[in-house]
């Protein structure tokens, strides 16, 4: 059994050393086991692995596995004597994630990962064991894809901080449109995006325009904007990401005001969560934000290398992560997404992987 639920510092150093030694022995086996389990889909297993919090507290989050690239869908072929004899060239090409940022899931359960290093979106289909790409070349080629969202028709919206636009792709991956302006207002630097399905809107965090756009999806280019630069309730300072809960409340990571701001669907300010600092429930580099089925709020912090979980009232429930290479730890995490089955996907940029966790319920 292994569990690594905390930040790593100071008096925990020796504990950490022990944990490292233990993990060196256990983790490789654990990881491969977890990957298999993930592919076997929802079958419940009794294996105890990494959970948060540690016993005797009731576990709420479990580590499921990580995505790193093409090897997740194409397990390396066993080299029999025959294969060795026949081909040297048919060795599979391996494409790894570079610096993953935004994550989204379509109606078929495929996992889309915007990769700012590869300049493309990876599409992992763990059922069919395929890996596809959007924006790798051609008309819809991406430069620095950061945020990603998918609507109910599986149209894919990808923000690109270099091209300064949100590209729209159909389910087949063809570029069907592009959003650079809402009305007369130019989107300066589109970062995180989210779908407000009932409102048929795409919310776009304009990190350098210090505002949130609500783009009308029935007519590209129409919509409204909200906010301006500042520290007030209705203002933002480099807003990074945006998410929508089941009551259509809007959550904005106001990165350089070091908090999450919550609004109703009409952008009426409701409350702030967090402040600047290193304590529990505080933020230093808040980035991705997402909600589970019970509207718990998950916030990734690049500086703390973790994500913190708040209840709908803004109280801190738990945090997962810390700085490091092992599963359950992160280096410069950025995006987060939670699917309909309460699986939590976190992009672990410098470790070049997406870590997947399961929210186990309260």
Partner 1 sequence: MKRNKFLLVIVMLALSGYAYGQFAGDGSKNTIVGTKHDLHATFSGGTAVCEYCHVPHKFNSLTTQPPLLWNVQVKPGPFATYSSPSFDGAANIRDPSTASSTSGASYMSLLCLSCHDGTITQASFYQITSAMGGSGSTTPPIIGESGGAGLQNDHPVDFTYSVALATTDGGLKQPTEGASVRIPYVGSPALPLFKDQPTDVSGRLECATCHNPHNATNGKFLRMANSGSSLCLNCHGV
Considering only residues 237 to 266 of the shown chain, the ones binding partner 1 according to CB under 8 A are 237-238, 240, 255-256
Nearer to partner 1, 117 or 226 (CB): 117
Residue 200: CB minimum distance to partner 1, A:
26
Pairing of strands 235-236, 228-229: parallel
What's the Cα-to-Cα distance from 24 to each of 54, 69, 158, 176, 195, rounded to whole Å? 20, 22, 38, 48, 41
Query: Of all residues in the chain, what percent are helix, strand and coil, respectively (each to 5)?
Result: 10, 40, 45
d(CA 147, CA 252): 14
Near partner 1 by CB under 8 A: residue from 175, 299, 329, 338: 329
Site for partner 1 in 183-212 (CB under 8 A): 189, 191, 207-208, 210
Nearer to partner 1, 25 or 197 (CB): 25
Near partner 1 by CB under 8 A: residue from 63, 112, 307, 319: 319
Near partner 1 by CB under 8 A: residue from 112, 157, 304, 345: 304
Number of separate helices (H) and strands (E) present in the chain: 2, 29
Please state the separation of Cα 330 from the chain's center in Å: 12
Site string (105-144) toward partner 1, x via CB under 8 A: -----------xxxxx------------x--xx-----xx
Residue 99 is a binding residue for partner 1 (CB under 8 A): yes
Residue 302: CB minimum distance to partner 1, A:
5
Q: Which stretch binds partner 1 (CB under 8 A): 31-39, 42-50, 150-158, 222-230?
A: 222-230
Pairing of strands 316-321, 333-338: unpaired
Nearer to partner 1, 3 or 270 (CB): 3
Near partner 1 by CB under 8 A: residue from 303, 312, 342, 358: 303
d(CA 258, CA 246): 24
Q: Which long-range contacts (CB under 8 A, 24 or more apart) does 199-202 make?
A: 199/248, 199/265, 202/149, 202/151, 202/157, 202/166
Residue 65 is a binding residue for partner 1 (CB under 8 A): no
Near partner 1 by CB under 8 A: residue from 2, 50, 73, 97: 97
Residue 156: CB minimum distance to partner 1, A:
17
Closest C-alpha to 254, from 274, 268, 270: 274
Residue 226 is a binding residue for partner 1 (CB under 8 A): no
Residues that bind partner 1 (rule: CB under 8 A) add up to a total of 94
Contact 141, 119 (CB under 8 A): yes
What's the Cα-to-Cα distance from 188 to each of 115, 163, 211, rounded to whole Å? 20, 10, 10
Nearer to partner 1, 267 or 323 (CB): 323
Residue 329: CB minimum distance to partner 1, A:
7
Site for partner 1 in 15-44 (CB under 8 A): 16-17, 20
Residue 51: CB minimum distance to partner 1, A:
11
Residue 228 is a binding residue for partner 1 (CB under 8 A): yes
Residue 153: CB minimum distance to partner 1, A:
26
Q: Which residues contact 307 (CB under 8 A, 6 or more apart)?
A: 288, 298, 299, 300, 301, 319, 320, 321, 333, 336, 344, 346
Closest C-alpha to 348, from 84, 12, 65, 56: 65
Site for partner 1 in 271-300 (CB under 8 A): 275-282, 284-285, 287
d(CA 132, CA 106): 13
Residue 98 is a binding residue for partner 1 (CB under 8 A): yes
């Amino acid at each position: 059994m292994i569990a690594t639920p905390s930040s790593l510092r100071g008096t925990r150093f020796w504990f950490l050393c022990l944990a490292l030694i233990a993990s060196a022995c256990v983790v490789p086996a654990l990881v491969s086991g977890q990957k298999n389990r993930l592919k076997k889909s929802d079958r419940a297993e009794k294996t105890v692995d990494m959970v948060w919090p540690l016993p005797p507290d009731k576990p709420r989050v479990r580590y499921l596995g990580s995505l790193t690239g093409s090897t997740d869908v194409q397990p390396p072929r066993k080299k029999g004597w025959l294969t060795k004899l026949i081909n040297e060239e048919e060795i599979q090409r391996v494409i790894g994630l570079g610096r993953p940022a935004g994550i989204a899931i379509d109606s078929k359960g495929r996992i889309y990962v915007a990769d700012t290093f590869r300049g493309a979106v990876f599409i992992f289909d763990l059922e069919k064991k395929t890996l596809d790409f959007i924006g790798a070349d051609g008309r819809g080629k991406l430069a620095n894809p950061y945020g990603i969202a998918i609507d109910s028709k599986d149209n894919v919206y990808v923000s690109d901080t270099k091209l300064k636009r949100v590209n729209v792709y159909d389910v087949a991956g063809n570029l069907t449109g592009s959003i650079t302006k809402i009305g007369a207002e130019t989107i300066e630097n589109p970062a995180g995006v989210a779908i407000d399905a009932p409102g048929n809107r795409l919310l776009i965090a304009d990190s350098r325009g210090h505002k949130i756009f609500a783009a009308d999806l029935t007519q590209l280019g129409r919509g409204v904007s909200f906010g301006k630069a500042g520290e007030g309730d209705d203002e933002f300072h480099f807003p990074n990401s945006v998410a929508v809960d089941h009551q259509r409340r809007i959550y904005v990571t106001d990165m350089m005001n070091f908090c999450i701001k919550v609004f109703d669907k009409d952008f009426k300010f409701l409350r702030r969560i967090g402040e600047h600092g290193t304590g529990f429930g505080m933020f230093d580099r808040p980035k991705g934000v997402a909600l589970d089925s019970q509207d718990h709020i998950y916030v990734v912090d690049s500086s703390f290398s973790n994500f913190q979980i708040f209840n709908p009232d803004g109280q801190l429930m738990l945090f997962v992560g810390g700085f490091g290479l092992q599963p359950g730890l992160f280096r410069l995490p950025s995006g987060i997404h939670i699917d309909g089955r309460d699986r939590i996907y976190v992009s672990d940029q410098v470790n070049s992987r997406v870590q997947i966790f399961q929210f186990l319920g309260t």
